[in-house]
Structure 1
Amino acid sequence: MPLSMLKSGIRAAVLLSVCLAGRTVWSEEVQLTVQDVPQPLAAAVKQLETREGWGITYEEPPDKPAPKGSLTLTYTVTDATRADPRFQEQVLTQLLARPAGKDAPRFRLVQAGGLWHVTPEQGSPLETPITLPRQKRPLGELLQRLCAEVTKRSGTQVELGRTAGLPLETRVTLEAVNREPARAVLARLLNSAPRRAAWTLRTQGTAQKYLLSPHRIFRLTGDTPEPVLEK
């Protein structure tokens, strides 16, 4: 092999190694900011979900919605850490620790059903144990039945609100449930492959009524949305 070709091959291999090495150490510093908005934590959670593709639910406290406020969160992410549950927990824990106004309610982080749940310290109707028989029905109908069971068991009215991107007519199977927290059942129901979905639970006018609003999860900043399961 001519020396010039050998040198070219070596130079190309070195450049490729540098590129690959650069890819392994790639990182991005993210500054997430919500400024003077109602329910700042809910807004920040939504930004994290759509930016990183994480499954995060948000449940309002039972007394009143969070007042206006601002939040700023800075973190450094790589392709590897983005998919790491330990990193996700670290970022979300930092977010919950950020002050959002003196009258802001306190929240805690719970993991269940492959999702992160931002839920009020005072508790949530979705912590209510529910019992349902095994059934195969359209997804929308199962969500309605779950809301009715939570209402019956908790004494707090929960209704199905707006759904975004979910195939409500698709028939899915819900295995029998015996006194299992509604949050875990809902997470399992909404995340049967290939669906990925989270939700918000918001009060409506009175602390005795909630709207449950499920929605698909996907990154708006890069990833192509996952296909919807057809009937």
Structure 2
Amino acid sequence: MPLSIMKSGIRAAMLLSVCLAGRTVWSEEVQLSVQDVPQPLAAAVKQLETREGWGITYEEPPGQPSPKGSILLTYTVTDATRTDSKLQEEVLTRLLARQAGKDAPRFRLVQAGGLWHITPEQGSPLETPITLPRQERPLGEVLQRLCAEVTKQSGTQVELGKTTGLRLETRVTLEAVTREPARVVLARLLNTLPQRAAWTLRTQGPERKFVLSPHRIFRLTGGTPGPAPSK
């Protein structure tokens, strides 16, 4: 083979390698924005979940709901870093820092049971230690029993609300738990299903009871939800 042709082939192969490598470093700058809405942090969390497929729970603080507000957050993501727990933690930490104003409630970020949890600093009913026997029942019954136990142990009424995307008739096994935080038990239960799930916990009605609403994690921009963050 003539040397000139061989050199041309080598140059073409090198160019192809560069192009292929370029595809692996594709990145996107994302601008997450919620404008003048009630509970802006909850709205921003929902945007992150449906865009990135991250498992994030949101628990509303007791008392009055958050006032209207706006949040703007910019971050860079790639197909590789989207499933990186370090990026998820960084973005969520920056998101919490966007909560501003003297009337805005304060939140903290907790990782447990394969999910990220945004919880109020003054506490949540789901931090209550609960005790439940081992049981094999439909998912709906187990969730009802968990809510009843949280209500009993915390003295705060917690009811089961909407369960978007979950099949409540699916039989699940909950191993016995002894004085374990309800949040951890719930996260473990919902992440043994065929599809991952998260939840919101909001106050409702004049009696300010809490309504627990578990839901399947949907990534609306394509693909499947990323893996749970490593412990």
Q: Normalized against structure 1, the TM-score is what?
A: 0.92
CA contact (8 A) 2:58 2:118 kept: yes
Q: Structure 2 vs 1, CA of residues 207 and 156 (structure 1 numbering), >3 Å: closer, same or farther?
A: same
Q: Which residue of 2 aligns with 1:39?
A: 39
Alpha-carbon RMSD across the aligned residues, in angstroms, is 1.8
Deviations 1:176-202 (A, max 9, x none): 010000000000010015220000000
Question: Separation in 1 of the partners of 2:96 and 2:111?
Answer: 14
Letter in structure 2 aligned against 1:121: E
Alignment of 1:130-141 (within 5 A): 130-141=130-141
Three-state SS of the structure 2 residue aligned to 1:72 is strand
Deviations 1:132-166 (A, max 9, x none): 00000001110011000000100100000001111
Three-state SS of the structure 2 residue aligned to 1:79 is coil
CA contact (8 A) 1:40 1:100 kept: no
Q: Which residue of 2 aligns with 1:157?
A: 157
Question: Separation in 1 of the partners of 2:38 and 2:211?
Answer: 17
Three-state SS of the structure 1 residue aligned to 2:80 is helix
Three-state SS of the structure 2 residue aligned to 1:165 is coil
Deviations 1:81-120 (A, max 9, x none): 1111111111100000013443110000000000000000
Alignment of 1:41-60 (within 5 A): 41-60=41-60
Q: CA deviation at 1:207?
A: 5.9
Q: Normalized against structure 2, the TM-score is what?
A: 0.92
Three-state SS of the structure 2 residue aligned to 1:30 is strand
Three-state SS of the structure 2 residue aligned to 1:29 is strand
Q: Structure 2 vs 1, CA of residues 156 and 55 (structure 1 numbering), >3 Å: closer, same or farther?
A: same
Q: Structure 2 vs 1, CA of residues 142 and 224 (structure 1 numbering), >3 Å: closer, same or farther?
A: same
Question: Separation in 1 of the partners of 2:10 and 2:179?
Answer: 65
Q: Which residue of 2 aligns with 1:169?
A: 169
Q: CA deviation at 1:10?
A: 3.0
Q: Which residue of 2 aligns with 1:116?
A: 116
CA contact (8 A) 1:69 1:101 kept: no
| Aligned length, in residue pairs | 226
Question: Separation in 1 of the partners of 2:207 and 2:117?
Answer: 20
1:125 has 2:125 as partner: yes
Q: CA deviation at 1:15?
A: 3.2
Q: Which residue of 2 aligns with 1:182?
A: 182
Deviations 1:34-87 (A, max 9, x none): 000000000000001111110000000011110100000011111221111111
CA contact (8 A) 1:147 1:159 kept: yes
Q: Structure 2 vs 1, CA of residues 171 and 193 (structure 1 numbering), >3 Å: closer, same or farther?
A: closer
1:221 has 2:221 as partner: yes
CA contact (8 A) 1:71 1:100 kept: no
CA contact (8 A) 2:63 2:208 kept: no
Identity of aligned residues (%): 85
Q: CA deviation at 1:19?
A: 2.2
CA contact (8 A) 1:160 1:213 kept: yes
Structure 1: state its 5+ residue gaps: 227-231
Asked which structure has the greater RCO (Cα within 8 Å, sep 6+), the reply is 2
Letter in structure 2 aligned against 1:107: F
Q: Structure 2 vs 1, CA of residues 225 and 71 (structure 1 numbering), >3 Å: closer, same or farther?
A: closer
